[in-house]
Structure 1
Amino acid sequence: MSRQSSHGGYENYQASRPTFYIGQHDSGRTDALTDSQYGRVLDYGFSFATAPITNKHFHDRVVALQKSYLADVAARDLTAAERANPSLPGPTIPTLTDDDTSLFPGPNITSIVAYCSPWIDLYAADPLVASLSRQVLNLEVAYASFCGVRSVIIPGPRADDDEKRVAQYGRAIQEALRQAARTILVIHLPMYREPGLEEKGDTLSGAGVYPTAASTAVAGEEIDLYSAWDTWHTVRSMCAYDPRLFVAVRIPKRLPETELQTRWFAEPLHYLTFAASIFQQNRAGFPSLSKSHQTLINKYMRIKNAPYVLLSDVGPDAAELADAVDFHASVASASAGASSGADFPSLAEAHSSPSSTDKKKHRSASNAYFSYLKYLEREQEPYTATETSTLATFQDWLQSPLQPLADNLESATYEVFEGDPVKYDQYEKAITAAMADWKRLNRPSSALPRSGAAAVPAGTPTIPELVVAVAGAGRGPLVTRVIRASKATGVPIQLWALEKNQNAYVYLLRMNKQVWGGKVHLIKTDMREWAGPIAEGHEATGTVTKVDVLVTELLGSFGDNELSPECLDGIQRHIARPHGISIPQSYTAHLSPISYPKVYAELAGRAPSDENAFETPWVVHLYAIDLVSQKVPGHPRFQQAWEFVHPVRLPFVEDWNAQHGLKKVQTGGGGAMTLAAGLNEHNVRHCHLKFVCRPRGVMHGLAGYFESVLYQPAPAANGSTPEPVEISTRPDQIDRKSKDMISWFPIFFPLKKPLYLPQDSEIEVSMWRQTDDSKVWYEWLVEVFVWAGQSSRVKVAASELHSSRNVACLM
Structure 2
Amino acid sequence: MSSDHLNPESDSFESRPSFCIGQHDSNRFETLTDGQYSYVLNSGFNFVTTPITNQHFFNRVVDLYKSHLQEREQWAQERGLTAAQRSNPSLPGPVVSTLTNKDTSYFPSSYVGALVAYSSPWIDLCSSDPLISSISRQVLNLEITYANFCGARSIIIPGPREDSGRGVAQYARAVQECMEVTTQTNIIIHMPMYREPGLEEKVETLSSLFREANDAEAEEKATKEIDLFGAWDSWHTIRSVCTYNTMLFVALRIPRRLPETDLQERWFAEPLHYLSLTKDIFQDNRAGHPTLSRNHQALITRYMRLKNSPWLFLTDVGPDTQNLNEAPGKMAIDFPSLSEAKQALKENRKPHMPPQNAYLGYIKYVERQQPPYSAMESPALTSFQDWLQSPLQPLSDNLESATYEMFEGDPVKYDQYEAAVTEAMAEWKLLNKPTSSATAEAPNCRELICAVAGAGRGPLVTRVLRAAERTGTAIQMWALEKNQNAYVYLLRQNEREWGNRVTVVKTDMREWEGPRLAANKDVITKVDILVTELLGSFGDNELSPECLDGIQRHIAPRPHGISIPQSYTAHLSPISTPRIHADLSARAASGDANAFETPWVVRLFAMDFVAQKVPGHARFQQAWEFVHPVEVSRADDFAAEHGRAKKYCTVGGGAMTGSSGTNDHNARHCHLTFVCRTRGVVHGLAGFFESVLYAPQVQGKEPVEISILPDQIDRKSKDMISWFPIFFPLKQPLYFPQDAELEVSMWRQTDDTKVWYEWIVEAYAWVGPNARIKVGASEMHSSRKLACLM
The two structures have a TM-score, normalised by structure 2, of 0.94
- Written as runs of structure 1 = structure 2, the 5 A alignment for 1:199-218 is 199-207=201-209
Query: Match of 2:718?
Result: 739
Alignment partners' CA distance in 2, 1:584 and 1:355: 66
Q: CA deviation at 1:159?
A: 0.7
Query: Match of 1:709?
Result: 692
SS at match of 1:665: helix
RMSD: 2.4
Alignment partners' CA distance in 2, 1:101 and 1:72: 28
Query: Match of 1:371?
Result: 361
Query: Match of 1:573?
Result: 553
Deviation per residue, 1:758-805 (Å, 9 max, x gap) = 000000000000000000000001000011111211000001110000
Alignment partners' CA distance in 2, 1:96 and 1:576: 84
Distance 1:734-1:657 versus aligned 2 partners, 3 A rule = farther
Alignment partners' CA distance in 2, 1:481 and 1:259: 43
Alignment partners' CA distance in 1, 2:482 and 2:9: 29
Contact kept in structure 2, 1:11 and 1:385, CA below 8 Å: no
SS at match of 2:752: coil
Query: Match of 1:458?
Result: none
Q: CA deviation at 1:11?
A: 7.2
Query: Match of 2:539?
Result: 559
Deviation per residue, 1:609-650 (Å, 9 max, x gap) = 011100000000000000000000000000000000000134
- Written as runs of structure 1 = structure 2, the 5 A alignment for 1:484-633 is 484-539=466-521, 542-578=522-558, 579-608=560-589, 609-633=591-615
Alignment partners' CA distance in 2, 1:654 and 1:576: 16
Alignment partners' CA distance in 1, 2:781 and 2:283: 51
Alignment partners' CA distance in 1, 2:732 and 2:455: 41
Deviation per residue, 1:370-414 (Å, 9 max, x gap) = 111111111111111111111001100000001000000000000
- Written as runs of structure 1 = structure 2, the 5 A alignment for 1:422-501 is 422-449=412-439, 464-501=446-483
Alignment partners' CA distance in 1, 2:212 and 2:748: 56
Query: Match of 1:163?
Result: 165
Alignment partners' CA distance in 1, 2:245 and 2:110: 29
Deviation per residue, 1:578-607 (Å, 9 max, x gap) = 120000000000000000100001101111
Amino acid at match of 1:232: W
SS at match of 1:205: helix
Distance 1:577-1:313 versus aligned 2 partners, 3 A rule = same
Contact kept in structure 2, 1:529 and 1:662, CA below 8 Å: no
SS at match of 1:614: helix
Contact kept in structure 1, 2:425 and 2:468, CA below 8 Å: yes
Alignment partners' CA distance in 2, 1:673 and 1:171: 50
Distance 1:660-1:295 versus aligned 2 partners, 3 A rule = farther
Alignment partners' CA distance in 2, 1:631 and 1:210: 47
Contact kept in structure 1, 2:278 and 2:314, CA below 8 Å: yes
Deviation per residue, 1:721-778 (Å, 9 max, x gap) = 2111000000000000000000000000000110001000000000000000000000
Contact kept in structure 2, 1:216 and 1:223, CA below 8 Å: no
Amino acid at match of 1:313: D
Alignment partners' CA distance in 1, 2:571 and 2:99: 58
Amino acid at match of 1:782: V
Greater shift in the superposed pair: 103-112 or 394-403: 103-112
Contact kept in structure 2, 1:586 and 1:643, CA below 8 Å: yes
SS at match of 1:325: coil
Alignment partners' CA distance in 1, 2:212 and 2:342: 53
Greater shift in the superposed pair: 80-89 or 665-674: 665-674
Deviation per residue, 1:441-463 (Å, 9 max, x gap) = 00000014596x8x9xxxxxx77
Q: For structure 2, list consecutive stretches of 5 or more residues without a partner in the other structure.
A: 1-7
Distance 1:69-1:551 versus aligned 2 partners, 3 A rule = same
SS at match of 2:328: helix
Alignment partners' CA distance in 1, 2:217 and 2:104: 35
Distance 1:497-1:10 versus aligned 2 partners, 3 A rule = farther
Deviation per residue, 1:69-112 (Å, 9 max, x gap) = 01101111233233322221111111111111111111111111
Alignment partners' CA distance in 2, 1:209 and 1:113: 34
Distance 1:768-1:360 versus aligned 2 partners, 3 A rule = closer
Query: Match of 1:15?
Result: 14
Alignment partners' CA distance in 1, 2:320 and 2:180: 35
Distance 1:570-1:746 versus aligned 2 partners, 3 A rule = same
Contact kept in structure 1, 2:635 and 2:646, CA below 8 Å: no
Distance 1:67-1:711 versus aligned 2 partners, 3 A rule = same
State which of 267, 275, 278 in structure 1 corresponds to 2:278: 275
Amino acid at match of 2:757: Y
Q: CA deviation at 1:198?
A: 2.3
Q: CA deviation at 1:664?
A: 4.5
Greater shift in the superposed pair: 484-493 or 643-652: 643-652
Q: CA deviation at 1:365?
A: 2.1
Greater shift in the superposed pair: 605-614 or 660-669: 660-669
Query: Match of 1:31?
Result: 30
- Written as runs of structure 1 = structure 2, the 5 A alignment for 1:267-416 is 267-325=270-328, 362-416=352-406
Distance 1:141-1:220 versus aligned 2 partners, 3 A rule = closer
Higher relative contact order (CA 8 A, sep 6+): 1
Q: Size of the alignment, in residue pairs?
A: 768
Contact kept in structure 2, 1:213 and 1:223, CA below 8 Å: no
Contact kept in structure 2, 1:472 and 1:554, CA below 8 Å: yes
SS at match of 2:653: coil
Query: Match of 1:247?
Result: 250
Query: Match of 2:148?
Result: 145
Distance 1:408-1:123 versus aligned 2 partners, 3 A rule = same
Amino acid at match of 2:166: K
Contact kept in structure 1, 2:575 and 2:682, CA below 8 Å: yes
- Written as runs of structure 1 = structure 2, the 5 A alignment for 1:179-198 is 179-198=181-200
Q: For structure 1, list consecutive stretches of 5 or more residues without a partner in the other structure.
A: 1-8, 336-349, 456-461
Q: Does 1:674 align with 2:674?
A: no
State which of 639, 642, 656 in structure 1 corresponds to 2:621: 639
Alignment partners' CA distance in 2, 1:355 and 1:652: 83
Q: CA deviation at 1:663?
A: 3.8
Contact kept in structure 2, 1:249 and 1:272, CA below 8 Å: yes
Query: Match of 1:341?
Result: none
Contact kept in structure 2, 1:195 and 1:214, CA below 8 Å: no
Distance 1:216-1:501 versus aligned 2 partners, 3 A rule = farther
Distance 1:525-1:651 versus aligned 2 partners, 3 A rule = closer
Alignment partners' CA distance in 2, 1:500 and 1:659: 29
Q: Does 1:60 align with 2:51?
A: no
Query: Match of 2:68?
Result: 69
Could you tell me the percent identity over the aligned residues? 63
Query: Match of 2:742?
Result: 763
The two structures have a TM-score, normalised by structure 1, of 0.91
Contact kept in structure 2, 1:587 and 1:709, CA below 8 Å: yes
Greater shift in the superposed pair: 641-650 or 584-593: 641-650
Query: Match of 2:180?
Result: 178
SS at match of 1:228: helix
Distance 1:660-1:586 versus aligned 2 partners, 3 A rule = farther
Alignment partners' CA distance in 2, 1:177 and 1:617: 30
Q: CA deviation at 1:181?
A: 1.8
Q: CA deviation at 1:440?
A: 0.6
Alignment partners' CA distance in 2, 1:360 and 1:496: 67
SS at match of 2:774: strand
